[in-house]
Amino acid sequence: MPTELSLVLSPKQAADPVLHTTLVAQRLRIDPARIALLRIVRRSIDARGRSVRVNLGFEVYVDGEQRPPEIRFDYPDVNHRTPVVVVGSGPAGLFAALRLIELGLKPIVLERGRDVSARKRDIAQINRNGAVDPDSNYAFGEGGAGTYSDGKLFTRSKKRGDYRRALEVFRFHGADESILYDAHPHIGTDRLPR
């Protein structure tokens, strides 16, 4: 079972993974060579005082401790499987479709709005001259209302559902690893619509 511990560091120290190993080994009073895996599980920034501090939470696996299982995304071929209709391609619809694939079913996703590329043009028209397409705008279309948000990922509760798994899915499909441990994960406005 891993050991969990927290360190409060300067931004420069927080950016140095080699230093993390040294500091964690000192805190645990062990040789750094005994650390088999050091994984950041939480990161938050405290900028309230004169000096900015970074709070890092770690999972530490020492010597022969069993490492966490690697999360795999081996999706089966569902082309010739039973079709199931999913209405809407917002976050709930897309994750429902993904879950159906994992269960070996073929999702058919129905969406009122247009795909992300076409929505970009429709949203540009809204911003330029106020022309709103009722079926393709900020609220309707592939990715749902959040597609053109600021890219921050918020949830009302980390206790309901498999929040970590959702972040792992984003990571597998190209999001930065930091979304797995940042206090306020951010995919990025430039990446979210892809």
Query: Band of the pLDDT at 68, cuts 50, 70, 90?
Result: confident
Name which CATH class applies to 3-62. alpha beta
Q: Dump pLDDT digits (tens) for 70-106.
A: 778 889 999 999 999 999 998 899 999 999 999 999 9
What's the whole-number average pLDDT of the chain?
Answer: 88
Is the distance from CB of 120 to CB of 193 less than 8 angstroms? yes
Give domain limits for the chain. 3-62, 83-180
3-class state of residue 9 by DSSP: strand
pLDDT score at 184: 79
The Cα 114–Cα 55 span in angstroms is 42
**Which tens digit of pLDDT belongs to each residue from 8-51?**
999 999 999 999 999 999 999 999 999 999 999 999 999 998 89
Q: CB neighbours (10 Å) of residue 111?
A: 20
Q: What is this structure's pTM?
A: 0.74
Q: Rounded distance, CA 48 to CA 160, Å?
A: 30
Which residues, at least 6 apart from 31, have a Cβ–Cβ distance to it below 8 Å?
Answer: 25
Residues 6+ apart with CB under 8 A from 19: 13
CB of 76 within 8 A of CB of 96?
Answer: no
Could you tell me which CATH class the domain 83-180 is placed in? Answer: alpha beta
The secondary structure element, H or E, covering residue 60 is strand 53-62
